Chain A
Amino acid sequence: MLEIKNLHAKIEDKEILKGINLNVKAGEVHAIMGPNGSGKSTFASVIAGREDYVVNEGNIFLNNEDLDELAPEERAHKGIFMSFQYPVEIPGVTVTNFIKTAINETRKANGHEELPAKDMLKKIRETAQLLDIDRKFLSRSLNTGFSGGEKKRNEIFQMAMLEPKLAILDETDSGLDIDALKVVANGVNKLKSQDNAVIIITHYQRLLEYIVPDFVHVLHDGKIVKSGGPELALELEEKGYDWLK
């Protein structure tokens, strides 16, 4: 599904990604781990198409299509979703209205009609139920005054509504207590299927206790320095990152 070849990316002449290779197949969960400053968040943003970064070498393919020239919204329309470490507050736009706009823009871009209001409401209701989200939450302004846990839960809600092919969770576990972490992990597990894939970007191993990855990769200084199975995460937890440098 996702094929990344020798990816180099820089921001203002500072090279951050220095040749990443990664293959993610449908149905798989990959974890990218690494110390602060290793390029994890940059990696997520570059896949999602953030324009501040310049890809100066290498390619990203989604289902054999090169994403190079595509704007962030176009990548979203093709099924890439990124959950943010710091979701943005949008006062005056409710969670419901925001997700309606996002879904209908994606449908329009893919040549579909807008989803009828009745179907939209049904889908919102069902998804909220699946993720154990209070209906009142949906009429609040997007992320405005949300707690850290509410923001992350809202990210998972949007992911569930948008049904991406590839979901990238950037530090979704940061700032969450254990209960909030379980809620988020449950959501991801419920949405996981043989048709989609998940990349979890995290500093710590604890989220991986709840979402078990098929592969774990260690990012250091803009490169993947080690790959392995879920047991690698445990090893990292125990030994830290220093032994890999």
Chain B
Amino acid sequence: MDLKEKLAASFLAFENKVSVDTDSNVHDIRSNAFDHFEQHGFPTKKDEDWKYTSLNSILKHNYNVLPETEADVEFAAVKKFFLHEIDSYKIIFIDGVYSSFLSETSHDGYDICLLSAAFKKPKYKMVIDHYFDTLASNKSSITSLNTAFSKEGAYINIPKNTVVPKPIQIIHFSTGSEAEILLQPRNLLVVGENSHVQIIERHQSLSSNVVLTNSVTEIFANKNAIIDYYKVQNDEKTASLIDNTYVQQQQHSHVSVNTFSFGGNLTRNNLEFFQEGEHIDSTLNGITIIGEKQLVDNHTLVMHKYPNCESHELYKGIYFDKATGVFNGKVIVEKEAQKTNAFQQNNNILIDDGATINAKPQLEIFADDVKCSHGCTIGQLDTDALFYLRSRGIPKKEANGLLLYAFANDALDKIKIPELKTRITKLIAKKLGVDLGFDL
């Protein structure tokens, strides 16, 4: 039985079990989503969007697709995966199950809690009806697969005129209680008018057992809302992640999504922005540093539909050994979207001969009064710069590290939480194998 057949068999059991808790609307959404997945199946390299990334090797495992074991995790054992230097809200899952012990949620002025709770309780029905799966619906077969099995994840609803005073950390741990596990977290984030929130998201395996995470996050930014979202991807080499994040923005809202991909087996980020008003600002930043046979694939879409909006996209990649990078950045400027200012930049450095990058900027512009720029570079380290550093007494290895750090720096500059910036900087130094010799 291949994975698709197994999922089909499991779906009925899953629906029977969870449908009692959820309202019929969600039930229908799940059923339709499963039909969509069954029709299209897992993507293959024949699909234009998956040309450079094959899922074959990660789909052949015998995943437990409906894990139910409740594993315990000591805080001390996982503390390092938290940004613990600052106070924060926490929504923590262990093998797909909510951990109240590690979490710190809130219903005080805003809801920072669980999707399972939002599905059950009548007071959330309006939000669920209004938002759930409205953005992700039929986007791709793999997103539909997540929708079909959606039951748990973060549910964040911030009413209007609210600044959430501390960041929210969403962490999905997998403990290795199953030899091979498929996790499908589903997050919903709704931010009201004039409100502001910061999110840090992480998927972390705690063993070397095989994990496949197929995550879907829907983000809704209402008028004037500000959302800063950080994705920290630095997982075990047996953990793969398909992250599907959809952002819908209303007028004057600012949303930034920062993706730091430093590890894991296969990481695919589908990140899509839909602008639904004027004077919107969308920011997409990414830093990828990988080696060995790792693969990171960033597929982004920015849809400009209204006039006077901006998008800023900057992805940097450093590839060692036999690592593979993919960047596909699509920007669509529709006919009505005059005065659009769309900027896209993708810079890559290949360190070793065996490393590969497949980069594809894709601009489709149907309006005539716009400013759109894009640039894509693939290069090696600058030998002039290297000689400069070495001539000051800095050994080759450290000089290389400093230059790579400098290369990634402008994407790092966008992090608005200082403690997170320090953490990411240290991670980068570690990935580059250098002691930079000072605290950054």
- Decide if A92 touches B406 in the complex (CB within 8 Å): yes
Known: A52-B383, A92-B405. A84 touches B396 (CB 8 A): no
Per-position contact with A for B373-392: 1 when CB-CB < 8 Å, else 0? Answer: 00000000011110111111
| A residues near B412, Cβ cutoff 8 Å | 92
7 contacts between A and B (CB under 8 A): A72-B390, A73-B394, A75-B391, A80-B391, A91-B410, A93-B402, A101-B394
Known: A88-B384, A90-B402. A109 touches B440 (CB 8 A): no
**Interface residue? A71 (CB, 8 A):** yes
**Interface residue? B436 (CB, 8 A):** yes
Known: A97-B440, A101-B437. A88 touches B382 (CB 8 A): yes
**Interface residue? A105 (CB, 8 A):** yes
Per-position contact with A for B381-421: 1 when CB-CB < 8 Å, else 0? Answer: 01111011111111110110011011001101100000000
- Decide if B392 touches A109 in the complex (CB within 8 Å): no
| A residues near B396, Cβ cutoff 8 Å | 71, 73
Residues of A within 8 A of B (CB): 45, 48-52, 71-73, 75-77, 80-82, 84, 86-93, 97-98, 100-106, 109, 158, 162
| B residues near A88, Cβ cutoff 8 Å | 382, 384-385, 388-389
In the complex, what distance in Å separates the CA atom of A84 from the CA atom of B388? 8
Complex: chain A residue closest to B437, CB-CB: A101
* Complex interface residues of chain B between 302 and 343 (CB less than 8 A to chain A): none
Known: A97-B438, A105-B398. A91 touches B409 (CB 8 A): yes
| B residues near A109, Cβ cutoff 8 Å | 393
- Decide if A104 touches B437 in the complex (CB within 8 Å): yes
| A residues near B436, Cβ cutoff 8 Å | 93, 97, 101
- Decide if B390 touches A73 in the complex (CB within 8 Å): yes
CB distance from A20 to the nearest CB of B (A): 20
- Decide if A48 touches B406 in the complex (CB within 8 Å): no
| B residues near A51, Cβ cutoff 8 Å | 387
- Decide if B393 touches A106 in the complex (CB within 8 Å): yes
Q: Interface centre among B382, B390, B436, by most A CB within 10 Å?
A: B390
- Decide if A92 touches B385 in the complex (CB within 8 Å): no
In the complex, what distance in Å separates the CA atom of A86 from the CA atom of B391? 13
Instruction: Supply 17 further A-B pairs (C-beta < 8 A) apart from A51-B387, A106-B393.
Output: A48-B391, A71-B395, A71-B396, A72-B391, A73-B396, A76-B393, A80-B391, A82-B391, A84-B388, A87-B388, A92-B409, A92-B440, A97-B440, A101-B438, A102-B394, A105-B437, A162-B393
In the complex, what distance in Å separates the CA atom of A76 from the CA atom of B391? 6
| B residues near A77, Cβ cutoff 8 Å | 393
Complex: chain B residue closest to A75, CB-CB: B391
| B residues near A76, Cβ cutoff 8 Å | 390-393
- Decide if B392 touches A102 in the complex (CB within 8 Å): yes
CB distance from B434 to the nearest CB of A (A): 10
Complex: chain B residue closest to A114, CB-CB: B437
Q: Interface centre among B382, B385, B391, B410, by most A CB within 10 Å?
A: B391
CB distance from A98 to the nearest CB of B (A): 8
CB distance from A103 to the nearest CB of B (A): 8
In the complex, what distance in Å separates the CA atom of A89 from the CA atom of B383? 13
In the complex, what distance in Å separates the CA atom of A89 from the CA atom of B384? 11
| A residues near B388, Cβ cutoff 8 Å | 84, 87-88
In the complex, what distance in Å separates the CA atom of A103 from the CA atom of B392? 8
Complex: chain B residue closest to A84, CB-CB: B388
In the complex, what distance in Å separates the CA atom of A48 from the CA atom of B392? 10
Complex: chain A residue closest to B439, CB-CB: A97
8 nearest A-B residue pairs (beta carbon): A92-B409, A76-B393, A72-B390, A106-B393, A102-B392, A101-B437, A88-B385, A88-B388
Per-position contact with A for B268-292: 1 when CB-CB < 8 Å, else 0? Answer: 0000000000000000000000000
CB distance from B340 to the nearest CB of A (A): 28
| B residues near A71, Cβ cutoff 8 Å | 390, 395-396
In the complex, what distance in Å separates the CA atom of A91 from the CA atom of B399? 14
In the complex, what distance in Å separates the CA atom of A105 from the CA atom of B437? 9
CB distance from A28 to the nearest CB of B (A): 22
Of the candidates B383, B384, B393, B410, the one whose C-beta lies within 8 Å of that of A105 is B393
CB distance from A49 to the nearest CB of B (A): 7
CB distance from B74 to the nearest CB of A (A): 36
* Complex interface residues of chain B between 336 and 377 (CB less than 8 A to chain A): none
CB distance from B55 to the nearest CB of A (A): 36
Of the candidates B387, B406, B438, B440, the one whose C-beta lies within 8 Å of that of A72 is B387
In the complex, what distance in Å separates the CA atom of A48 from the CA atom of B391? 7
In the complex, what distance in Å separates the CA atom of A102 from the CA atom of B393? 6
| A residues near B402, Cβ cutoff 8 Å | 90, 93, 101
In the complex, what distance in Å separates the CA atom of A88 from the CA atom of B394? 14
In the complex, what distance in Å separates the CA atom of A102 from the CA atom of B387? 13
In the complex, what distance in Å separates the CA atom of A51 from the CA atom of B384? 11
| A residues near B384, Cβ cutoff 8 Å | 86, 88
In the complex, what distance in Å separates the CA atom of A196 from the CA atom of B410? 39
Complex: chain A residue closest to B390, CB-CB: A72
Complex: chain B residue closest to A101, CB-CB: B437
| B residues near A52, Cβ cutoff 8 Å | 383
In the complex, what distance in Å separates the CA atom of A88 from the CA atom of B389? 9
In the complex, what distance in Å separates the CA atom of A162 from the CA atom of B409? 26
- Decide if A93 touches B406 in the complex (CB within 8 Å): yes
CB distance from A150 to the nearest CB of B (A): 16
In the complex, what distance in Å separates the CA atom of A158 from the CA atom of B393? 11
Complex: chain B residue closest to A83, CB-CB: B391
In the complex, what distance in Å separates the CA atom of A86 from the CA atom of B399? 17
